Chains A and B, each alone.
Chain A
Amino acid sequence: AQSVDQPDAHVTLSEGASLELRCSYSYSAAPYLFWYVQYPGQSLQFLLKYITGDTVVKGTKGFEAEFRKSNSSFNLKKSPAHWSDSAKYFCALEGWLQQGTGSKLSFGKGAKLTVSP
C-alpha cells in the first residue's frame, strides 16, 4: 500500500518569509515523489520530482524539495515567498498498482498556502 500525508491543511505566512510545506509518505519500496501546485480555479501543474540521487531537488517557480529517507519526508521549500505563491500544493507518490499492471500517482490531501502581501 502507498499513502501520502500532508499534515498542514492550511498555511499562512507573510510575503518575504520562508515557506516549508510538509509531506510524509508510506511506501515499501524506493519512492518516486512529486509536488504539484493548483492555483485558484485552475488545474494542477507540475513543480518538481525526486527519483534518485541528490536529496535536494529544484523545480519551477523557485521551489525546491528535500527528500529525507530517515523520516520518510519530502518537504517543499521556497525563500522568500511571494504573494503569487498563494495556491494549493499537493504532494504525490508514484507507486505500483496492487494488480501489478502498472504504476499510479497517489496524492496527499493538499495544503492551502496563503501568502499575505
Chain B
Amino acid sequence: DMKVTQMPRYLIKRMGENVLLECGQDMSHETMYWYRQDPGLGLQLIYISYDVDSNSEGDIPKGYRVSRKKREHFSLILDSAKTNQTSVYFCASSSGTITEVFFGKGTRLTVV
C-alpha cells in the first residue's frame, strides 16, 4: 500500500519551543517535500530532498531546517517556533520528476 505517513497529526506548541515533524514513506521514493498550506495562499514549498543528505531550499525555507538520514524518512524542524509558523504542514514524496506526488494527511501545527 503506497503511503506517506505524518506524525503527529495535531500539535500545539508555545512560542520559542522546538518542533519536530516527522514523515515516512513506504515507496522507496527518492524525492520528498515539505509544504505548508495557509488559507488563501495555497501550498508553499519549504524544502525538497532528492535523497539522503541531499536537501535544497524551497520558496520559504527561513525558520525551518530538515533532516533526511534514511530514504524513507524526512523530518522538518522548527527551532524556536514562532506564531506565524502556525499552519498545516504537508509532507510528500515522488519517484522523480514529472510523476505523481503522494501527499501525507498533514500536520496541523498551532504555535501559541
Report which A residues bind B (CB closer than 8 A).
9, 32, 34, 36, 42-46, 49, 51, 90, 94, 97, 99, 101-110
Contacts and interface: CB of A to CB of B under 8 A. Distances in A.
A94 B39 CA distance: 22
Nearest to B41: A109
Nearest to A106: B45
Interface stretch (B10-18, B70-78, B79-87, B97-105): B97-105
B100 A49 contact: yes
Contacts of A99: 56-57
Contact of B100 (A9, A46, A97): A46
A90 B100 contact: no
Interface in B24-51: 31, 33, 35, 40-45, 48, 50
Contacts, number: 58
Contact of B90 (A43, A45, A101): A43
Nearest to B98: A32
A43 B98 contact: no
A102 B44 CA distance: 17
A106 B40 CA distance: 15
Which applies to chain A's interface (DSSP): helix, strand, loop or mixed?
Answer: strand
B45 A105 contact: yes
24 contacts: A32-B98, A34-B101, A42-B105, A43-B104, A44-B90, A44-B92, A44-B103, A45-B103, A49-B100, A90-B43, A97-B56, A99-B56, A99-B57, A102-B48, A102-B97, A103-B97, A104-B33, A104-B48, A104-B58, A106-B45, A107-B35, A107-B42, A108-B42, A109-B42
Interface of B: 31, 33, 35, 40-45, 48, 50, 56-59, 90, 92, 97-98, 100-106
Given A107-B43, A110-B42, A101 B103 contact: no
